[in-house]
Amino acid sequence: MVRCFMRPLRWPALLLLTCSLGQAQAAPSAAAAESQPSSLFVRVQLDNSVKISALKAGDLVEGKLAQSVYSGERELFATGTAVQLTVDKVARRKRERNDHWPWVIQAFTPRHENYPTFQSATVLLPDGRNVALQVSLISIKRESEVRAAAKKDSGGQNKKIIAPIVTLEAAIPAEAVEANAAPTTPAPVTLAAGTRVRVVLLGGVSASKSHAGDVLQARLVEPVRLDSKVVLPEGTLLTGKVTKSMPPRMLSRSGSLRLAFTDLTVRGGVEVPASASLASAQLDSRSHTWIDPEGKLQGGRPGKAWMLIHAGVSAGLAKVADDGTQLLVQALVETATDASTAGTARIAATCASGLFMLTRHGRDVVLPRFTEMDVVFDRPVALFGAQAASVSNQGNGQEGSPVASRGQ
């Protein structure tokens, strides 16, 4: 699935890859297959000179990993590792939703856009080895990190770090599967309240389309360590739900969305209670969404440009209503003149423009699929080693087999 914005990008770009196991790779053991996640997420920063809209088939794009890439408990590629991508072809896709412009502008925006597709990439390791990956593009967009406002900051001001993001899907190298074939034996541990984990959303949600009670899933993209030991490997699933959703309303009132995570899914499908809330999210840089201190996503207030656009449309509607009313009255009443119908026409124009302004909805809150987020555990999370070992026995039929505390 491809998601991207084909705007000319001359600034440093970041790429996000989803890596899935290929059928041609060596088959791991039953326990390793159970623990191995089906995909990985990789972020790559491109050079300043790269212009995405100008890319053509056969072009070579170079960049560096913006953060380390993990598979289960193991780091595959370190931050700053060089990456080369080869453009396969230029295709078309449906434009992604955003809350930047009101509908009167989006109605005239092209619904589709051109985007480059990728089928091959090469990771250039520092030791001189090259790791080839099969990839395909998911999205291209410029992002901002929106963080939960401090409680004393009632205005919801968020520190933003802007970076264009590209999302791709790729095959994991076989050596990454083999390296995770023998996970370590976990010991009973408890993650303290306030522990922050980085996840990626596996399904899109929005204030206008999601409802309270809708189930959502996210997955760890970085392992969680305690005393230098991995207790939550990359690939651990978090399950949650939409606890509150308010769609955009009339009088330009923006929508809002509240998410809550309730469970961790351990190896074998066993769920562990884990209450967590949203701390930050990587959103489109044009988004006007902010996060309040309680973790609720709130659409920003309409700005000057938003109001000027609506005012312009309102003035146009008033003019059309004014002229149309005069023409209609004069067509029905032979003795009617411009002077005699002016008052009625002005009333009709005022009603039309006023009705338009009153029925305008505010900004939406949109979290597309593969949105990267930071969540914080609200309460301590108990991870029991005995429980994980029991799950391992079910997976490989051997008693006392070692297994990592999480994975999927």
Q: What is the CATH number of the domain that holds 139?
A: 2.40.128.260
Buried b (16+ CB within 10 A) or exposed e, 21-33: beeeeeebeebbe
Other C-beta atoms closer than 10 Å to the C-beta of 347 total: 13
Query: Stretch 389-403: mean pLDDT, rounded?
Result: 37
Contact criterion met (CB below 8 Å) for 283 and 161: no
Instruction: List Cβ neighbours of 101 (8 Å cut-off, separation of 6 or more).
Output: 109, 306, 309
Task: Decide if pLDDT at 58 tops 60.
Answer: yes
Write out pLDDT tens, residues 131-175.
888 777 777 777 788 888 766 554 444 555 566 667 776 767 666
Sign of the dihedral defined by the CA atoms of residues 11, 158, 293, 205, in that order: negative
Q: In this structure, are 166 and 233 located in the same domain?
A: yes
Beta bridge partners of 71: 74
Q: Which helix (H) or strand (E) holds 62?
A: strand 60-65
Whether residue 260 is contained in a domain is answered as yes
Pairing state between β 366-367 and 74-77: unpaired
Q: In this structure, are 232 and 338 located in the same domain?
A: no
Cα–Cα distance between 147 and 31 in angstroms, integer? 38
Query: Stretch 243-272: mean pLDDT, rounded?
Result: 87
Q: In this structure, are 230 and 319 located in the same domain?
A: no
Cα torsion through 393, 395, 397, 399, rounded to 10: -20
Whether residue 405 is contained in a domain is answered as no
Q: In this structure, are 206 and 311 located in the same domain?
A: no
Q: In this structure, are 250 and 350 located in the same domain?
A: no
Query: Stretch 393-398: mean pLDDT, rounded?
Result: 39
First vs last Cα of the chain: how many Å apart? 21
Whether residue 64 is contained in a domain is answered as yes
Write out pLDDT tens, residues 258-317.
999 999 986 667 788 999 999 999 888 778 888 988 889 998 888 777 777 777 888 887
Domain that holds residue 343: 304-358
pLDDT for the residue 29: 37
Q: What angle do CA 236, 175, 127 make, to 5 degrees?
A: 110
Q: In this structure, are 263 and 375 located in the same domain?
A: yes
Pairing state between β 215-220 and 372-377: unpaired
Cα–Cα distance between 97 and 283 in angstroms, integer? 12
pTM (2 decimals)?
Answer: 0.73
Buried b (16+ CB within 10 A) or exposed e, 80-104: ebbbbbbbbeeeebebbbbbbbbee
Cα–Cα distance between 184 and 35 in angstroms, integer? 12
Whether residue 406 is contained in a domain is answered as no
Q: In this structure, are 311 and 186 located in the same domain?
A: no
Residue type, 34: E
Count of structural domains, the chain: 2
pLDDT for the residue 24: 33
Average pLDDT, the chain: 75
Contact criterion met (CB below 8 Å) for 362 and 252: yes
Whether residue 3 is contained in a domain is answered as no
Q: In this structure, are 308 and 180 located in the same domain?
A: no
Q: Where does the pLDDT of residue 184 fall: very low under 50, low under 70, confident under 90, or very high at 90 and above? A: low
Give residue 221's region: left, alpha or beta (phi > 0; psi -120 to 50): alpha
CA 303 distance to own-chain centroid = 24
Residue type, 60: L
Whether residue 402 is contained in a domain is answered as no
Range with lowest mean pLDDT among 25-29, 87-91, 179-183, 313-317: 25-29
Q: In this structure, are 129 and 229 located in the same domain?
A: yes
Does 123 or 26 have the greater pLDDT score? Answer: 123
Whether residue 8 is contained in a domain is answered as no
Q: What is the largest CA-CA distance in the chain?
A: 100
Cα–Cα distance between 217 and 195 in angstroms, integer? 19
Nearest to 403 by CA among 191, 231, 226: 231
Encoded tokens for 305: 């440009």
Q: In this structure, are 295 and 155 located in the same domain?
A: yes
pLDDT for the residue 179: 54
CA distances 164 to 204, 208, 360, Å, are 19, 25, 31
Whether residue 131 is contained in a domain is answered as yes
The phi, psi pair for 316, rounded to 5°, reads -65, -40
Task: Decide if pLDDT at 25 tops 70.
Answer: no
Contact criterion met (CB below 8 Å) for 161 and 11: no
Q: In this structure, are 139 and 186 located in the same domain?
A: yes
Q: Where does the pLDDT of residue 216 fall: very low under 50, low under 70, confident under 90, or very high at 90 and above? A: very high
Q: Where does the pLDDT of residue 183 fall: very low under 50, low under 70, confident under 90, or very high at 90 and above? A: low
Q: In this structure, are 274 and 216 located in the same domain?
A: yes
Contact criterion met (CB below 8 Å) for 180 and 367: no
